[in-house]
């Protein structure tokens, strides 16, 4: 650990011992993490306050930086931190969040006992095969106010998806877009996945778990899953398919988050070469509830990445 970070840590600890108002405390924490390079400041602000809710400090810090002239380092830091990959995946699953989504989107009557509704395949699958997927990732909890989210576990910040579909979304291999009628549909970005069998990918993902039993169990479940999928076999079969709910609740995810994810995933795919045809992503981030300045600053970090 560098001397600079040690000094920042000492200042941070001192500030936390003071009886400051929320506003003054936020500004003091941001100041304690300040650096000649804005990217370092954001990184250190997160590191130094890992045990704390950073919202006031981060929002305050970004508001101040957003009006600056040279934010390249900060935009680069955001592009790295806010990356949809397994490396940024939250290690601990959240059964309460999944249960909330099941109650919201899945018909839990006696016919479907022990199963959960996948919103993209429109089928009921064994519950352990369906993931409650965070749109704005749980690992970014302390940055949630950048997109105006109060509750990271809101049903609007999640979808119920068959494990391979969740993987494709969480690794920037596919996006969700909205048509003029307001329907959300799946768009496959990585053409190398088009003919990949969903159940093959499911077994692969489960077999990669530290728990070896999961791979064996996945193999045993394959015939039942294939029967439940009703002819949906490959990632290509999902392309253009709508998201649905099997309850009275409509599908109403945070559009600003899905727009951010779409832009982020396309930029990543173009960089890494797996996006062959760039989709026409219209700006469907119409439900902004946070400050426009921060939203513009967040999207500027995407523009910075696009140019790299």
- DSSP state string for 201-247: HHHHHHHTSSSHHHHHHHHHHHHHHHHHTTT--BGGGGTTPBP--SS
Residue 249's pLDDT is what? 95
190-207 mean pLDDT: 96
Read off the tokens for 38.
Answer: 């804005």
Q: What is the pLDDT at residue 209?
A: 84
Instruction: Kindly state the average pLDDT of the residues 145-150.
Output: 79
Q: Identify the pLDDT of residue 218.
A: 94
The pTM of the full predicted model, rounded to 2 decimals, is 0.78
- Residue 228 near residue 208 (C-beta atoms within 8 A): no
Q: How far apart are CA 17 and CA 216, in angstroms?
A: 52
What's the pLDDT band for 196 if we cut at 50, 70, 90? Answer: very high
CB atoms within 10 A of CB 226: 16
Span 190-202, mean pLDDT?
A: 97
The β-bridge relationship of strands 123-126 and 115-118 is antiparallel
The answer to whether residues 209 and 215 touch, using CB atoms and an 8 Å cutoff, is: yes
Q: Which two tokens stand for residue 110?
A: 């006696």
pLDDT at 290: 45
Average pLDDT over residues 187-192: 96
Query: Cα–Cα distance between 30 and 44 in angstroms, integer?
Result: 9
- Which pLDDT tens digit goes with each residue over 221-232? 999 999 999 999
- Residue of higher predicted confidence among 190 and 18: 190
Confidence check: pLDDT of 1 > 50: no
d(CA 201, CA 238): 14
Tell me the H-state helices in the chain: 3-16, 22-32, 38-48, 55-66, 72-81, 95-105, 163-170, 198-207, 212-228, 255-272, 292-306
């Amino acid at each position: 650990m560098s001397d600079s970070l040690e000094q920042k840590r000492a200042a941070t600890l001192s500030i936390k011992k003071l009886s400051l108002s929320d506003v003054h405390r936020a500004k003091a924490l941001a100041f304690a993490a300040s650096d000649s390079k804005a990217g370092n400041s954001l990184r250190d602000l997160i590191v130094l306050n890992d045990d704390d809710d950073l919202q006031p400090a981060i929002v305050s810090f970004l508001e101040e930086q957003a009006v600056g002239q040279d934010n390249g380092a900060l935009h680069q830091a955001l592009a790295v931190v806010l990356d949809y990959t397994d490396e940024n995946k939250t290690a601990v699953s959240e059964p309460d969040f999944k249960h909330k989504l099941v109650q919201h989107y899945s018909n839990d009557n006696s016919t479907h006992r022990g199963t959960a509704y996948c919103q993209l395949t429109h089928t009921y699958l064994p519950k352990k095969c369906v993931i409650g997927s965070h749109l704005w990732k749980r690992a970014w909890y302390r940055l949630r106010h950048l997109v105006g989210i109060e509750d990271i576990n809101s049903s609007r910040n999640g979808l119920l998806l068959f494990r391979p579909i969740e993987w494709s979304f969480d690794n920037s291999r596919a996006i969700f877009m909205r048509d003029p009628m307001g329907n959300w549909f799946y768009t496959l970005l990585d053409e190398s996945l088009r003919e990949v069998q969903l159940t093959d990918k499911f077994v692969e993902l489960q077999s990669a778990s530290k728990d070896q039993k999961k791979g064996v169990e996945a193999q045993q479940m394959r015939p039942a899953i294939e029967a439940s999928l009703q002819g949906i076999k490959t990632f290509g079969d999902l392309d253009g398919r709508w998201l649905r709910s099997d309850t009275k609740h409509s599908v109403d995810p945070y559009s600003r988050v899905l727009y951010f994810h779409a832009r982020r995933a396309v930029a990543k795919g173009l960089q890494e070469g797996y996006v062959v045809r760039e989709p026409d992503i219209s700006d469907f981030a119409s439900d902004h509830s946070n400050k426009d300045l921060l939203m513009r600053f967040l999207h500027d970090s995407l523009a910075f990445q696009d140019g790299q």
